[in-house]
Amino acid sequence: MNRKEQILELIAKGYNSVKTLAEHFGVSLMTIYRDVRELEREGKIIRRHGELLLKKEEEKQVQEIGVCAYCGKLSDKRLEFVYRLTGKTVYACCAHCGLLLFKELQGNEVQSCMTRDFISGNPINCFSAWYVVDSSAVPCCSPSAIAFGNKEDAEKFAKGFGGKVFDFESAVQVVEELMKRGQKVVFEVR
Ligand SMILES: [Zn+2]
Ligand SMILES: [Zn+2]
């Protein structure tokens, strides 16, 4: 167990100040401050009037888990699309749903959209990302759309797993087309 994990346990046991934690570990106040700040940033603890408190489980979940506005799946941190609109946040489980959702959001003021680079996991802007659509890799919904921060990575991925590389606007069109074609066609027998 690393020190940050131990700190979480100790806070739960009532070690609620930086000073008592520093004394417990025999390290400087600065060292503990650094850990505490990281834990705060990770959303695991909060500081109230100098007191360290664990962030409640349910508060954390509301913040971290979104339900896909398109298909209703719980969104996966690694793949999700997060649209920020004026006054609300809309989640999609993956780029497939995120792209399909885009048209439905029109009329709303979309302030930003964030997703993650499939390779590094770093946050990227959905609108400037590149998408590999309809590859054989299907981490969430099908036909899959996978986001990359740069075009070369997307192209390399498409070489290995198939699919084609598109920018945001084209990816929206293509996924929509594929969904239409994927629908069952019913022939009437006369
Ligand atoms: Zn979805
Ligand atoms: Zn999905």
If you average pLDDT over residues 47-61, what whole number do you get? 72
Strand order in the sheet with 145-148: 145-148, 130-133, 164-167
Q: Within 10 A of 154 (CB to CB), how many other CB atoms are there?
A: 27
Report the pLDDT value the prediction gives residue 187, as an integer from 0 to 100.
Answer: 54
If you average pLDDT over residues 60-76, what whole number do you get? 75
If you average pLDDT over residues 94-111, what whole number do you get? 92
User: Which protein residues have their CB within 5 A of the ion that is ligand 1?
Assistant: 68, 70-71, 73, 93, 97
111 has pLDDT over 60: yes
pLDDT above 90 covers a percentage of the chain that reads: 69
Judging by beta carbons within 10 Å of its beta carbon (0-12, 13-18, 19+), is residue 42 exposed, middle or buried?
Answer: exposed
Expressed in angstroms and rounded, the spacing between residue 68 Cα and the centre of ligand 1 is 5
Expressed in angstroms and rounded, the spacing between residue 80 Cα and the centre of ligand 1 is 9
33 has pLDDT over 70: yes
Please, what are the domains in the chain? 3-60 (1.10.10.10), 65-182 (3.30.450.410)
**Token pair of 161 as six digits:** 């797993």
Report the pLDDT value the prediction gives residue 14, as an integer from 0 to 100.
Answer: 86
Using 50, 70 and 90 to split pLDDT, how confident is the model at 48? confident
Expressed in angstroms and rounded, the spacing between residue 171 Cα and the centre of ligand 1 is 16
Using 50, 70 and 90 to split pLDDT, how confident is the model at 86? confident
Expressed in angstroms and rounded, the spacing between residue 127 Cα and the centre of ligand 1 is 18
**Token pair of 11 as six digits:** 């806070």
| Single-letter residue type at 112 | S
Determine contact, residues 151/130, Cβ cutoff 8 Å: yes
Expressed in angstroms and rounded, the spacing between residue 132 Cα and the centre of ligand 2 is 14
Question: Could you say which ligand is closest to the alpha carbon of residue 140?
Answer: 2
Instruction: Give the SS3 label for residue 137.
Output: coil
Expressed in angstroms and rounded, the spacing between residue 46 Cα and the centre of ligand 2 is 32
Which of 25, 58, 52, 20 is closest to 38 using CA atoms? 52
Expressed in angstroms and rounded, the spacing between residue 8 Cα and the centre of ligand 1 is 34
Using 50, 70 and 90 to split pLDDT, how confident is the model at 6? very high
If you average pLDDT over residues 138-142, what whole number do you get? 93
Q: How many CA atoms lie within 13 A of 55 on its CB side?
A: 17
Report the pLDDT value the prediction gives residue 58, as an integer from 0 to 100.
Answer: 45
Which of 137-146, 168-177, 178-187 shows the lowest mean pLDDT across its residues? 178-187
184 has pLDDT over 60: no
Report the pLDDT value the prediction gives residue 64, as an integer from 0 to 100.
Answer: 53
| Single-letter residue type at 65 | I
Which of 90, 174, 75 is closest to 130 using CA atoms? 174
Which whole-number Å values give the CA distances from 13 to 7, 9, 20, 43, 84, in the listed order? 10, 6, 12, 19, 38
Report the pLDDT value the prediction gives residue 62, as an integer from 0 to 100.
Answer: 47
